Amino acid sequence: MGFGGNWAVDISSACSEGVAVYRMFRELIAGLPYHMVLGDGCSTCSAATAQVSYLWNLTQLSYGSSSPILSDRKRFPKFFRIATPDQMVNEARIQLMREFNWKKVATIHQALEVFSVVTDDFFHRASDMNAIIITQEIFVHDPMSRVENLKAYKVGLYGAKIVWVFAGWYSSTFWLVKQDDIDCTQEQMALVAEGAFLTSAVNFNPREERGIHGMTVSEFLDRYFNDPGYNTDLDMYKSVVGQSYDHIWIAALALNCTDSELTRRGNRAMLGKKDTT
pLDDT of residue 223: 92
* Secondary structure (3-state) at 9: strand
Q: Is the pLDDT of residue 2 over 60?
A: no
Nearest to 65 by CA among 45, 87, 49, 42: 42
The rounded distance, in Å, linking the Cα atoms of 49 and 79 is 10
Q: Is the pLDDT of residue 193 over 90?
A: no
29-33, 112-116, 234-238: the lowest-pLDDT one:
234-238
Instruction: Read off the pLDDT band of 276 (50, 70, 90).
Output: very low
Instruction: Read off the pLDDT band of 182 (50, 70, 90).
Output: confident
Q: What is the pTM of this model?
A: 0.69
HEC-encoded secondary structure of 108-144? EEECCHHHHHHHHHHHHHHHHCCCEEEEEEEECCCCH
Q: What is the pLDDT of residues 127-147, one digit of tens each?
A: 999 999 888 888 887 776 676
Nearest to 239 by CA among 45, 83, 70, 48: 83
pLDDT of residue 79: 95
Mention every residue, 6+ apart, whose C-beta is less than 8 A from residue 69.
43, 47, 75, 113, 114, 117
pLDDT of residue 233: 79
62-66, 182-186, 223-227: the lowest-pLDDT one:
182-186
Q: Is the pLDDT of residue 12 over 70?
A: no
Instruction: Read off the pLDDT band of 124 (50, 70, 90).
Output: very high
Across residues 193-213, what is the average pLDDT? 86
Residue that wins the pLDDT comparison between 210 and 179: 210
Q: For the chain, give the mean pLDDT.
A: 82
Nearest to 121 by CA among 74, 171, 68, 188: 68
* Residue 60: burial class (beta carbons within 10 Å; 0-12, 13-18, 19+): buried
Mention every residue, 6+ apart, whose C-beta is less than 8 A from residue 255.
1, 3, 7, 35, 36
Q: Is the pLDDT of residue 113 over 60?
A: yes
Q: What is the pLDDT of residues 68-88, one digit of tens each?
A: 889 899 999 999 988 888 888
Q: Is the pLDDT of residue 6 over 70?
A: no
Single-letter code of the amino acid located at 129: M
pLDDT of residue 4: 34
Local structure of residue 212 (DSSP, 8 states): T
Q: Is the pLDDT of residue 48 over 50?
A: yes
Q: What percent of the chain shows pLDDT beyond 70?
A: 86
Q: What is the pLDDT of residues 146-181, one digit of tens each?
A: 766 665 666 566 677 788 898 877 777 888 887 777
Q: Does the bond joining 181 to the residue before it have cis omega, within 30 degrees of 0? A: no
43 and 75 in contact (C-beta within 8 Å)? no
Q: Which domains does the chain have, with CATH numbers?
A: 8-82+237-272 (3.40.50.2300), 87-199 (3.40.50.2300)
pLDDT of residue 121: 92
